Amino acid sequence: MRDKLNQFMQGRYGNDDLNRFLMKIILAAFVLSLFTGRIVFGGVVSLSRIFYWIALALLIYCYIRMFSRNIYKRSEENRWFLNKTSNMRGFWSNRKYNAQQMKNYHIYKCPGCGQKIRIPRGKGKIEVRCPKCRTTFIKRS
């Protein structure tokens, strides 16, 4: 069974970052469709059905992308998505990195040039020299 699936997927595009993002949107739309069951939109269609059909359409699109044999076109779509979301992804990865660094280091800004300087925690009162402008200042670590 597994060999047949591997053979079927040979030459097909598979999963990528855009598909993973779409799957998260699909999950959110399905959850919203569960919680907005009685809200009527426009007097005719319930909001639940709108979210359900959006999620279903995105799911079909996701599977079309996954099973597509046009690898070049799908990789171009993924590259476009990655270019459009690079600022947002960079922001969150920087936040995650800074949160990890805050456990072991204090991060100070140099009063002279504004350069960020990383000082190990737990060393008491220390004199810090900026590596960029050589300004010295005293801080607690």
In angstroms, what CA-CA distances link 136 with 3, 126, 128, 129?
65, 10, 5, 4
Q: What is the pLDDT of residue 101?
A: 86
CA angle 78/60/1 to nearest 5° reads 90
Output the tens digit of pLDDT for each of the chain's 141 residues.
888 888 888 888 888 999 999 999 999 999 998 888 777 766 677 888 889 999 999 999 999 999 999 999 999 999 999 999 988 888 888 888 888 888 899 888 998 898 988 889 988 899 999 999 999 998 888
The sign of the torsion formed by the CA atoms of 131, 135, 136, 138 equals: negative
Q: What is the pLDDT of residue 19?
A: 94
| pTM of the shown model | 0.66
